[in-house]
Amino acid sequence: MGENKKINLKAIFSSKKNIAIAIIVLIIICVSGFEYLKYDNNRYQTGQGLTNEQKRGNIEDLVKKEDYEGANILVENYYYYDENKENLHNYTYNIKMCKEKKLKSFDEVDKIKEDNKKALERVNEENIKKEYQDIVNGVNNKERELSRNELIDYINRYMNFSNKYKDRKDYYYGIVGNLVELKKEYCRRNSYIYDKEVIAYDKDMNTIPPKIGMTKAEVMAFTKYIKPSKTNKTTNAHGISEQCVYGNSYLYFDDGKLTSIQN
């Protein structure tokens, strides 16, 4: 009997020991879980350790719940101290759009922005076409001959258009061709200038300095060197070389490209 009591006591103590261990383990798990929750909540609130996709997802989840104030708070927490304020401004705008238009995702906002961008590009393209066509139509007015001042005005308008839309290669060759024709007409009106062997140049006319590599047409179109008083041409095995004299200035062309300038 005494032996049985000893065994039972051992079992009891062993059981109590296991319970104690279980309780300690449970406490550790609870504390760890609480700390992880604190850590996870801190990541959520501050964005530290989150990818851009995760941040977007967190902000967008609040927008879907129509918690726009909470979404804006997250945006400020995530991006306020960024040197580049692009994300801060973009998300603030996206949240505003979602609120105003009752949208549930930023993809919908992105689509609206893309549609607006395309619409603006179409409007800008139409304005560019109209601006160019207005110059062309003005020059091609057959009712009367353009005056000297009008010629210079249209030359300057083409020059301004060319400077304004430097990357628009689709207009470039048209501009060069039209400027050459206007300059030729200008020269025809002022042919007496060449008899005196000086440059046909008007101080009111917009021009740019000649650049090595320009074609003869580009030189005439864009620079003050409109028409040479004399041209010396030589042909050899390598091609055609030209020396064009403009008063005291000499422009040298090889196969139609400007290669040297002497003043």
Residue ranges of domains in the chain, CATH in brackets: 10-110 (no CATH), 113-192 (no CATH), 206-262 (3.30.1450.10)
Q: What's residue 134's pLDDT?
A: 93
Amino acid identity for residue 233 in this structure: K
Closest residue by Cα to residue 225 from 241, 249, 258: 249
User: How many Cα atoms are found within 13 Å in the side-chain-facing hemisphere of 1?
Assistant: 0
Contacts of 211 (CB under 8 A, 6+ apart): 258
> Residue 37: is its pLDDT beyond 80?
no
Average pLDDT score over the chain: 83
Express each pLDDT in 193-223 by its tens digit: 544 444 445 678 899 999 999 999 999 999 9
Side chain identity at residue 34, one-letter code = F
Say if CB 200 and CB 192 are below 8 A apart: no
Structure tokens at 69: 């104030």
Banded model confidence at residue 126, pLDDT cuts 50, 70, 90: very high
Question: pLDDT tens for residues 152-185?
Answer: 899 999 999 999 998 899 999 999 999 999 988 8
pLDDT tens per residue, range 218-259: 999 999 888 888 899 999 888 899 999 988 889 999 999 999
- Rounded Cα–Cα distance for residues 180 and 127 (Å): 24
